[in-house]
């Protein structure tokens, strides 16, 4: 029986299984659909919101491969990339405090200072393949879910997001699964499916949110959807520009800032934690 080393980590409650590519290759492990689904199962195995692979890159310092619990690939994840950087530092795979990481979408810059990870999430985009064919980043549209109309802002942080601002409604009592799942899987509007953010505005410098995450159900936290929500609210001219906005999520707090200029990058900041490390037994 093979013993595959892994580290369990989380960023504000968004948890991941982290594997090293060299261990996978040495043990000849096949990251099949069944294998990843089993590892991410919370009832019988390790359990996680996703699986990360630390790999070599010809384009950057390292390559970042991410799988959702249903085996679908994710372009990237803001919480995951912080865990990724911490894994590199803890395992002494790099001495750099700032690195470039190749993701499925682009080359990402991650820095570490004063126990905080700062991620350059790059500039937001409009979702190119959305059925509404939005011409501008700040365009908003109506869609229907379970008989209810929602006004949403489509934002791509190199993965798709439908940001919905709730009004006069309790975020804690809101049925995220009921309304989020049909939107995520509405391939007539979102051919690649989408993350769905439900946001409550606290002030010009603070928001709270819950998310139905593509391929992972409702999760405690995700960096890209925190960024997408701040972008959507700045576009509505209510949040302070180029200042860190406090984003309250079910797993804790993230800080995000953006200038409001479509050419400028979104910056995300917070910590990452190791939960435990052990071996996964592979037959």
Give, for 163, the enclosing helix (H) or strand (E): strand 160-165
End-to-end CA, the chain: 5
Both tokens assigned to 240: 């302070």
Q: How far apart are CA 78 and CA 9, in angstroms?
A: 13
Looking at the DSSP bridge assignments, the partners of residue 149 are 144
Q: How far apart are CA 34 and CA 115, in angstroms?
A: 36
Catalytic choice (40, 77, 83, 227): 77
- Hey, is 227 helix, strand or coil? helix
Q: Is 222 a catalytic residue?
A: yes
Looking at residue 21, the DSSP 8-state letter turns out to be H
- Hey, is 57 helix, strand or coil? coil
Please give the backbone phi and psi of residue 182, each rounded to the nearest 5 degrees, phi first: -60, -35
Please give the backbone phi and psi of residue 161, each rounded to the nearest 5 degrees, phi first: -140, 140
Cβ atoms of 234 and 27 closer than 8 Å? no
Q: Is 77 a catalytic residue?
A: yes
Residue linked to tokens 């996680």 = 48
Residue count of the chain: 283
Catalytic choice (40, 83, 222, 227): 222
Q: How far apart are CA 33 and CA 31, in angstroms?
A: 7
> Which residues are marked as active site?
77, 222
């Amino acid at each position: 029986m093979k013993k595959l080393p892994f580290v369990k980590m989380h960023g504000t409650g968004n948890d991941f299984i982290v594997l090293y590519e060299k261990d996978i290759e040495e043990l000849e492990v096949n990251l099949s659909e069944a294998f990843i689904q089993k590892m991410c199962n919370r009832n019988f195995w390790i359990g996680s919101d996703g699986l990360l692979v630390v790999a070599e890159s010809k384009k950057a310092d390292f390559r970042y491969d991410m799988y959702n619990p249903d085996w679908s690939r994710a372009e990237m994840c803001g919480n995951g990339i912080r865990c990724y950087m911490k894994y590199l530092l803890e395992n002494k795979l790099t001495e750099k405090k700032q690195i470039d990481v190749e993701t499925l979408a682009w080359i990402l810059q991650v820095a570490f200072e004063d126990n905080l990870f700062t991620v350059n999430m790059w500039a937001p985009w409009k979702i190119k393949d959305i059925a509404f064919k939005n011409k501008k980043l700040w365009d908003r549209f109506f869609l229907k879910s379970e008989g209810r109309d929602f006004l949403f802002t489509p934002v791509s942080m190199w993965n798709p997001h439908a940001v919905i601002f709730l009004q006069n409604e309790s975020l804690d009592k809101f049925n995220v699964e009921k309304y989020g799942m049909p939107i995520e899987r509405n391939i007539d509007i979102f051919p690649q499916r989408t993350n769905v953010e439900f946001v409550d505005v606290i002030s010009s410098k603070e928001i709270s949110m819950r998310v139905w995450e593509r391929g992972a159900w409702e999760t405690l936290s995700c960096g890209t959807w925190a960024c997408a929500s701040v972008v959507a609210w700045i576009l509505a001219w209510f949040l302070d520009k180029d200042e860190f906005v406090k984003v309250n999520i079910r797993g804790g707090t993230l800080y995000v800032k953006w200038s409001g200029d479509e050419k400028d990058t979104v910056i995300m900041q917070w910590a990452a934690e190791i939960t435990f490390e052990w071996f996964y037994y592979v037959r």
